[in-house]
Amino acid sequence: MSTVGHLINGESITTAERTQDVFNPSTGEVNKQVALASKETVEEAIAAAQAAFPEWRNTPAAKRARIMFRFKQLLEENADKICAMIGEEHGKISHDAAGELTRGIENVEYACYAPELLKGEYSKNVGPEIDSWSEMQPLGVVAGITPFNFPAMVPLWMYPAAIVCGNCFVLKPSERDPSSTLFIAELLHEAGLPAGVMNVVNGDKEAVDTLLEDTRVKAVSFVGSTPIAEYIYTTATSNGKRCQALGGAKNHAIIMPDADMDNAVNQLLGAAFGSSGERCMALSVAVAVGDAAADALVSKMKEAMQPLKVGAFSDSSNDFGPVITEAAQHKVNGCIDSAEAQGATVVVDGRNPDVAGFAGGFFVGATLIDNVTPEMDSYKEEIFGPVLQVVRVDTMQEAMDLIDAHEYGNGTCIFTRDGEAARYFTDNIQVGMVGVNVPLPVPVSYHSFGGWKRSLFGDLHAYGPDAIKFYTRRKTITQRWPSAGVREGVSFSFPS
Ligand code: NAD
């Protein structure tokens, strides 16, 4: 059985004291092992990054960007191979994996703007013969820790931007589906990146804690669940590091009585069940305003869900695949059990679907639950599975209050034909990413991605302009070259 190892100083390393099984969630079988880096191995990666930094920070931004142009091309050429790797370990169907990769490549395209993004600011004659400018200097060694649900895209949110800014990177991917992440980092070397600038260490808490504690690591970007995001943020910042830690979500869609219901249903299908609901932007709660809207929504959803196909990643006619682990399958089923036990109505039941030929796979079918209330456990927690819950309210304000009261604030959306209602909603809702008749309002790569409340710890969002700010620090230089013969006397006060 092969072992997925590390990439340190441009070299593949597969020896490991500890390993963990990597499953194919479509079959439930173990196909590979992943190496779990020891403290010493992570320290080796940090040392390689530290050693590469002086030369890399002085490499012109245009040259750094040129590597990203080649990297983009290699990602496109290897797309099928990458999507198959994602499918085998994550369970994503090829169309979904291709979408993830495209979003990742868009972040590489953004990194290609590096010379433009790093121009800084300049003011001539801020005083007599005095010029002043601000430079965006790299931080040094920076680290990324990423989740299982986007093994290609989320790492690409981080290191292309960090690297074109002149930093050197150590990435700790999810140990559940590490192969595509490692392969993509190898492509970056094929694109011409010098050894040591980008390093990948697979591992678990030991690897993460080493990155959080090592004083050579200047900044940490994290994406994952909220309890771990909070731990990462608190530990990294108390160790003097810059940190952005993106956490979990519970994204609500408001369905107004005037919404185009057929369109809303179509949009909700993809947004709730796409990628088996394992997206931090998945819409998992539909808040229907008024019983008429709720009844129409539930009956149309029920009908539209009948043809949905859950199945193995290898069949591209499937709409979505398995969830990531057997434990995740039990968790999602448990949330449906608990909603039912606490009084909700399971309208379409995805527990234990029959997937012919894949009896060992971790499948959950698309599930619709009506009459959910905010007191229910299934409403409070992030289910992270193909489950859409319907909450019924009487007014739009009640729907907004519900969203604002939830601990998470990642994404939300309103379905309506009323521009005034939509404008009030976008202006006032306490959520970081907001859609109007757009169910997954994921910002494009030249904006930035992040939630509010307990969906993000830190201030700067991921990728786009915020990433350039996160991965650089400002240095402002004030310079005077007095003309020959002109010398001012001593001054003991600011000029007035
Ligand atoms: P996770 O928190 O379990 O793991 C994320 C990373 O943290 C992994 O690399 C893992 O190895 C590491 N980790 C796990 N436990 C740790 C511990 N005790 N100490 C140190 N490190 C630890 O998350 P996941 O299950 O891989 O991903 C799903 C979660 O990520 C969901 O909650 C989802 O909403 C969230 N997510 C959020 C965003 C966002 O942008 N806000 C994007 C994608 C996923």
Pair (237, 283) in one structural domain: no
Closest ligand 1 atom, CA of 227? 2
Q: Is the pLDDT of residue 12 over 70?
A: yes
Domain count, the chain: 2
Which residue's structure tokens are 């869900």?
Answer: 305
Which helix (H) or strand (E) is 70 found in, with range? helix 61-77
Closest ligand 1 atom, CA of 148? 26
Task: Please give the distance, rounded to the nearest whole angstrom, from the Cα atom of residue 245 to the centre of ligand 1.
Answer: 10
Pair (199, 55) in one structural domain: yes
Pair (322, 243) in one structural domain: no
Beta strands 6-8 and 456-457 are: unpaired
**Can you spell out the DSSP letters for 253-310?**
EEE-TTS-HHHHHHHHHHHHHGGGG-STT-EEEEEEESHHHHHHHHHHHHHHHTT--B
Confidence (pLDDT) at 175: 98
Lowest mean pLDDT among 326-340, 359-373, 441-455, 482-496: 482-496
Q: Is the pLDDT of residue 447 over 70?
A: yes
Confidence (pLDDT) at 1: 85
Pair (66, 96) in one structural domain: yes
Pair (151, 174) in one structural domain: yes
pTM value surpassing 0.95: yes
**Does a structural domain hold residue 164?**
yes
Q: Is the pLDDT of residue 52 over 80?
A: yes
Nearest CA to ligand 1 atom 40: 246
Confidence (pLDDT) at 485: 58
Q: pLDDT (tens digit, 9 = 90+) per residue, 115-132? A: 999 999 999 999 988 999
**Does a structural domain hold residue 302?**
yes
More confidently predicted of 76 and 494: 76
Q: pLDDT (tens digit, 9 = 90+) per residue, 344-364? A: 999 999 999 999 999 999 999
Task: Please give the distance, rounded to the nearest whole angstrom, from the Cα atom of residue 147 to the centre of ligand 1.
Answer: 4
Task: Please give the distance, rounded to the nearest whole angstrom, from the Cα atom of residue 228 to the centre of ligand 1.
Answer: 7
**Does a structural domain hold residue 491?**
no
Q: Is the pLDDT of residue 70 over 70?
A: yes
More confidently predicted of 128 and 171: 171
Confidence (pLDDT) at 492: 80
Residue 419 tokens, joined: 């521009």
Confidence (pLDDT) at 483: 73
Q: Is the pLDDT of residue 375 over 90?
A: yes
Nearest CA to ligand 1 atom 34: 248
Nearest CA to ligand 1 atom 21: 205
Give the active site residue among 168, 280, 335, 413: 280
**Does a structural domain hold residue 35?**
yes
Pair (218, 358) in one structural domain: no
ipTM higher than the 0.90 cut: yes
Pair (28, 164) in one structural domain: yes
Most informative mutation of 89, 158, 174 for ligand 1 (most atoms within 8 A of CB): 174
Nearest CA to ligand 1 atom 19: 205
Q: pLDDT (tens digit, 9 = 90+) per residue, 130-144? A: 999 999 999 999 999
Q: Which domain holds residue 311?
A: 251-436
Task: Please give the distance, rounded to the nearest whole angstrom, from the Cα atom of residue 286 to the centre of ligand 1.
Answer: 25
Closest ligand 1 atom, CA of 172? 9
The domain that contains 370 carries what CATH number? Answer: 3.40.309.10
Task: Please give the distance, rounded to the nearest whole angstrom, from the Cα atom of residue 229 to the centre of ligand 1.
Answer: 7
- Give per-residue burial for 405-420: e unless 16+ CB within 10 Å, then b: ebebbbbbbbbbeeee
Q: pLDDT (tens digit, 9 = 90+) per residue, 273-318? A: 999 999 999 999 999 999 999 999 999 999 999 999 999 999 999 9
**How many angstroms separate the Cα of 224 from the Cα of each of 18, 153, 467?**
23, 13, 17
What is the arithmetic mean of pLDDT over 368-381? 97
Residue 5's contacts (CB-CB under 8 Å, 6 or more residues apart) are: 12, 13, 14, 15, 16, 35, 182, 202
pLDDT-derived band at 97, boundaries 50, 70, 90:
very high
Pair (155, 193) in one structural domain: yes
The domain that contains 157 carries what CATH number? Answer: 3.40.605.10
* Ligand 1: lining residues by beta carbon, under 6 Å: 145-150, 154, 172, 174-175, 204-205, 208, 223-225, 228, 246-249, 280, 382, 384, 410, 451, 455
Helical pair 39-57 and 205-213, crossing angle rounded to 10 deg: 50
Confidence (pLDDT) at 489: 67
Q: Is the pLDDT of residue 486 over 90?
A: no
Residue 205's contacts (CB-CB under 8 Å, 6 or more residues apart) are: none
Q: Is the pLDDT of residue 197 over 80?
A: yes
Confidence (pLDDT) at 484: 65
Pair (203, 270) in one structural domain: no
Closest ligand 1 atom, CA of 410? 41
Q: pLDDT (tens digit, 9 = 90+) per residue, 232-254? A: 999 999 999 999 999 999 999 99
Task: Give yes or no: 280 in active site.
Answer: yes
Task: Please give the distance, rounded to the nearest whole angstrom, from the Cα atom of residue 410 to the centre of ligand 1.
Answer: 15
Please tell me the distance from the alpha carbon of residue 386 to that of residue 320, in angstroms, as a whole number: 9
Mean pLDDT of the chain: 97
Residue 438 near residue 264, CB atoms below 8 Å: no
What is the arithmetic mean of pLDDT over 56-80? 98
Which residue's structure tokens are 């779990």?
Answer: 36
More confidently predicted of 31 and 338: 338
Nearest CA to ligand 1 atom 30: 224
What is the arithmetic mean of pLDDT over 189-194? 98
Pair (146, 160) in one structural domain: yes
Confidence (pLDDT) at 167: 98
pLDDT-derived band at 496, boundaries 50, 70, 90:
confident
Confidence (pLDDT) at 194: 98
Closest ligand 1 atom, CA of 150? 43
